[in-house]
Amino acid sequence: MIEELQDFFLTRLGRVKDMLERAAAGPLLVRFMVFLLTLVAALVAFPAEVILRPAALAFAAVLAALPAVFPRTRLVGLAILLCAFGWLLGTYAYGQIITIPRLIGLATVLYLTHSLAALAAALPYDAIVSPGVLVAWLLRALAIVSVSAIVSVLLLAVVKVVIGPVFLVASLVGVLAAAALAWLITRKAS
User: pLDDT digit string (tens) for 129-150?
Assistant: 888 888 999 999 988 888 888 8
Which of 13-17, 48-52, 61-65 bottoms out in mean pLDDT, i.e. has the lowest? 13-17
More confident residue, 73 or 181: 73
Asked whether the predicted pLDDT for residue 78 surpasses 90, the reply is: yes
Q: Mean pLDDT score of the chain, rounded to an integer?
A: 85
User: Greater confidence, 169 or 109?
Assistant: 109
pTM above threshold 0.85? no
Note the maximum CA span of the chain.
70
pLDDT at 31 over 70: yes
